[in-house]
Chains A and B, each alone.
Chain A
Amino acid sequence: MKSRTPLAAAGLAAVSLFALTACSGSAEPAADGAPSGNVTMVVPMGAGGGSDQSGRAIASGLEEGTGLNISVENREGGSGAVGYSYFLSQNGKSNYLLASETALLALPVTQDVEFTYEDFTPIMKLGDDYTLLVVAPDAPYETCSDVVDAAKDERVVAAVSGATSLDEIVFTLVESDQDVEFDRVPFESGSEVLTALLGGQIDVASLNPSEVIAQLEAGDLKALCAFSEERYEYDALSEIPTAKEQGIDVAFAQYRGFIAPGGITEDQTQYWIEAGQAYEKSDAYSEYIESNYLQANAVYGDEFSEYLAGNTADLEVVFAE
């Protein structure tokens, strides 16, 4: 993040150049890696969810920077498997992008799908979304260690929003770090988990800040710790200690970003990376990051691939049974 300025400036210049070319209306494939024709941003989840929102935000941000026409296409099903498989079949087409998150890594580890992240071209990771451990305001816990202690000799019911979801990963990591066990009740989305927590049917949940910020502000829930490397910088969240401060060595992020199909040329990869770098400089980017309480942490190309490799290794440990 420190040395990005000259590079990004170059990127911006390059992008505005491309934008000019694109505006001139030539449909010829540009030699410099710019896609020809319209671009499609595939969202492997249904309309309205977090992936959909990030896909639409990225698409309009890139549209602004590149002057391309980017339309969003939802391809939902199988917790993302349908969308990623469809994307696999777009191999070599640089006018396709996909709004990606941790499902890209969790699916190959847990299910019989035909792809791994290595089949695609990682372009840009926008930022990280961690989870907060939240409980009812009158719950007898003040810290995450209290919850862990309670789980040692009584039943603590934890909600998870899917068999391969972020909260499942986090709870599994806590379990192996602290040698305790939580009783799981499966749900299908963060808002379902939230409902059950507010209704008192479950004891603890691990949710993204954007999912619970309103309840935290209204005092309907309290947050015990954040499973992040460092405390949040947002005012509303800066008071929440990290799990590491409380002696639980667990931090796991869900990334949000976008990828291109595999088999595209160096130039084409570079084009999208530069478009992403221009997007990172824009107001639209910081607006998206802030309204969703992400930790801004953009990485590109090879660095993104390394991140994905490291994360896959972590997940294999989590889901090795």
Chain B
Amino acid sequence: MIDNLILGFSTAFTAENLLWCFIGVLLGTVIGLMPGLGSTTGVAILIPLTLTLEPVTALIMLAGIYYGAQYGGTITSVLISTPGEAASVVTTLDGYQMAKNGKAGSALAISAIGSFVAAIISLALLMALAPPLADLALNFGPVENLAIMILGLIIVVSFAGGALSRGLMMAAAGLLISTVGVATGFSDARFTFGNINLLGGIPFIEVMIGLFAIGEVLHQIRMGADAPIRTRFRDMVISRSELKRSAGPILRGSGIGFVLGILPGAGSTLASFMAYGIEKRVSPRKAMFGKGAIEGVAAPESANNAAANANFVPTLALGIPGGGTTAVLLGAFTIYGLQPGPRLFETQPTLIWGLLVSFFIGNVMLLVLNLPLAPVFAQMLRIPYGYLYPIILLTSFVGAYSVSNNMFSVLLVLVFGIIGWIMKELDLPMAPLVLGLVLGPLFEKALVQTSALGQGSFLILLQSPISVVVLLFAVALMVGPKIAARVAVRRSPRTARTPITHDEREDAR
């Protein structure tokens, strides 16, 4: 272990590797800032740039793009409610509200800190335990995945910002939208109306850009311009009490993110949603969620970063990609003449440990970049809205186009932008819709596979100990708060309106 670390440090700490790591995280941040352009696209497009480099240097740079994009995606989620990736959709819920309350600096800082802590925790676990964890993760087959999807969909319930039925309605609508196209294991085209572009389904990136970015722009135009947010520099720096409140959410978020990130398929989106949902359940300041609670930024940001790193567990230990971006990275391995697989740790120690140590260095660089830059980025909000929103329109449409190289994507963004605006006017929550859309194909795949494995019967769900535990947890989440609330309501009918603490007053200011 120590030898390996020394080997890793001696590999990663060359001037050339440090330089390319820095270029990687910088490019990643820029790519993350662009709506729609996530790490998967970014890494895939930039692979050709690295062909002349040594394999280890190239992979260090590509990995830098990967987690740089995670940090960058947060910035636009907070500042202009435009998530760069599905995993940062949840961050918009409280991050954007914090920005509107003049707390953009704190939101950006806490997400950088949370992401950093999550990265360090998950990297330590990755280094120490990757092979055994990967073997453990293999026990999660279709049946167990279905149980996790059910748990995830139940957590959606806690997202219903307004009436419960509306949150569920939007989650179901998301699921329904996800059924457009061809389902796993079948060749029937559903709801495509003969349009060839719909055969592959309605991609969530376009929906997300439309609903969040364009929807918000249209909404703002109709609501009228607010005065540009003027804040003193002091307010842009995160306060001690905010840091203290975020410690729990960051640790819990890291844990949830790491566990879900190891499992092939579940991914960082579900992790960030779950972390937020669970934080909303356990937080003493539940009432602030959705109105600019710093916990609501800290938890999902830590979760998606932990998941992004945990994705490397199956990738490096088994040669099986843990997610979209790691799949592209594995493709890059072959381009450099490396054989990804279960023996990478043995056959390529220099490469693997150099890469792992570079993850640490890259995250330190990102923290150092992001902390002082948080208040600077927040100044972006001083751009008059009359300039800002047409620029948002341009980057949203270009971002959507660049994902598929197809004008159809641009049309989809416009259509979902109008739908998003209508939803905002009618107070229909958007986050459950995106979660439904992201989970839909995974849920359907797990359903089809489980039913095929069980030959039509779902009793197979109860034959796997793992799935039974997950399902029991789901039931507890559903019933637990009900019982707790019933007890609480009986004790005091006014519990729903908790007195406001000093901190909350500070937040709301």
Interface residues, chain A, with chain B CB atoms under 8 Å away: 47-49, 52-53, 56, 73-79, 81-82, 85-86, 110-114, 157, 160, 162-164, 183-188, 191-192, 194-196, 198-201, 210, 213-215, 217-218, 220, 291-292
Could you jot down 5 A-B contacts, CB within 8 Å? A48-B44, A56-B48, A184-B185, A185-B452, A198-B138
B449: CB under 8 A from chain A? yes
1/0 per residue, CB under 8 A from A, across B310-328: the answer is 0000100011110010011
Chain B residues in 8 Å Cβ range of A52: 44, 331
Interface stretch, picked from B195-203, B288-296, B471-479, is: B195-203
* Interface residue ranges, B against A (CB under 8 Å): 40-41, 44-45, 48, 138-143, 181-182, 184-187, 189, 196-197, 199-201, 264-265, 314, 318-321, 324, 327-328, 330-331, 334-335, 337, 339-343, 404-406, 445, 448-449, 452-453, 455
From known contacts A48-B328, A77-B197, A185-B452, infer whether A218 and B342 are also in contact, taking CB-CB under 8 Å: yes
Say whether A214 contacts B141, CB under 8 Å.
no
CA distance A51 to B45 in the complex (A): 15
B138 interface neighbour in A85, A192, A195, Cβ under 8 Å: A195
Contact A76 B200, CB 8 Å, known A48-B44, A48-B328, A214-B342: yes
Q: How far is the CB of B236 from chain A (nearest CB, A)?
A: 38
Taking a contact as CB atoms under 8 Å apart, the answer to whether B320 and A81 are in contact is no
Q: Say whether, besides A186-B452, A218-B343, A53 and B40 are in contact (CB < 8 Å).
A: no
When C-beta atoms are compared, the residue in chain B nearest to A160 turns out to be B185
* Complex-state Cα separation, A196 to B263, whole angstroms: 12
A56 to B452, CA, bound (A): 36
**How far, in angstroms, from A49 to B334 measured CA to CA in the complex?**
11
Instruction: Give the Cβ gap from B262 to chain A, nearest Cβ, in Å.
Output: 12
Residue of A nearest to B455 (CB): A183
Instruction: Kindly identify which residue among B200, B264, B342 contacts A195, using a CB–CB cutoff of 8 Å.
Output: B264
Residue of B nearest to A319 (CB): B187
Cβ contact of B331, chosen from A49, A79, A213, cutoff 8 A:
A49
Report the Cα distance A184→B449, complex, angstroms.
9
B331 touches A214 (CB 8 A): no
Q: Which residues of A contact B330 (CB under 8 A)?
A: 48
Residues of B within 8 A of A164 (CB): 187
A113 to B330 CA separation, bound complex (whole angstroms): 32
A198–B201 alpha-carbon span in the complex (Å): 30
- Min CB gap B73→A, angstroms: 18
User: By the criterion CB–CB under 8 Å, are A217 and B449 in contact?
Assistant: no
Asked if B331 contacts A48 (CB within 8 A), the reply is yes
- Shortest beta-carbon contacts, A-B, top 9: A214-B341, A77-B200, A186-B185, A78-B199, A47-B44, A201-B141, A199-B138, A48-B328, A163-B187
Q: Which residues of chain A are within 8 angstroms of B314 by Cβ–Cβ distance?
A: 195
Residues in B whose Cβ lies below 8 Å from that of A157:
453
Quick check: A291 and B334 within 8 Å, CB to CB?
yes
Q: Specify the chain B residue showing the minimal Cβ separation from A72.
A: B48
Q: How far is the CA of A196 from the CA of B331 in the complex (A)?
A: 20
Residue of A nearest to B40 (CB): A47
Q: Known: A113-B196, A214-B342. Is A291-B337 also a contact (CB below 8 A)?
A: yes
- B136 vs chain A, min Cβ distance (A): 10
Query: A47, B184: Cβ atoms under 8 Å?
Result: no
Q: Are A110 and B264 in contact (CB under 8 A)?
A: no
Q: Are A218 and B341 interface neighbours, CB within 8 A?
A: yes
> Given A112-B189, A291-B337, A78 and B182 touching (CB < 8 A)?
yes
Measured CB to CB, the nearest residue on chain B to A186 is B185
Contact of B187 among A111, A214, A215 (CB under 8 A): A111
Nearest CB on A from B139, distance (A): 6
CB of B343 within 8 A of CB of A214, answer yes
Kindly state the separation between the CA atoms of A88 and B63 in the bound complex, as whole angstroms: 37
Complex Cα–Cα for A114 and B189 (A): 14
Q: How far apart are the CA atoms of A227 and B319 in the complex, in Å? A: 24
The answer to whether A185 and B142 touch across the interface, beta carbons within 8 angstroms, is yes
| C-alpha gap A195/B201 in the complex (Å) | 25
The answer to whether B327 and A191 touch across the interface, beta carbons within 8 angstroms, is yes
Contact of B199 among A74, A81, A160, A198 (CB under 8 A): A81
Please name the residue on chain B nearest to A85 by beta carbon.
B196
Q: How far is the CA of A214 from the CA of B334 in the complex (A)?
A: 12
Chain B residues contacting A215 (CB-CB under 8 Å) are 319, 341-342
* Contacts A183-B455, A185-B452, A214-B340 given; does A78 touch B200 at CB 8 Å: yes
The residue that B200 contacts in the complex, of A82, A114, A192, A200, with Cβ under 8 A, is: A82
**Is A110 within 8 A of B187, CB to CB?**
yes
Known: A78-B196, A192-B265, A214-B341. 20 other contacts (CB 8 A): A53-B334, A56-B48, A73-B405, A74-B404, A76-B404, A79-B199, A81-B199, A82-B200, A86-B406, A111-B189, A163-B187, A185-B449, A185-B452, A186-B452, A198-B318, A213-B341, A214-B339, A217-B339, A217-B343, A218-B343
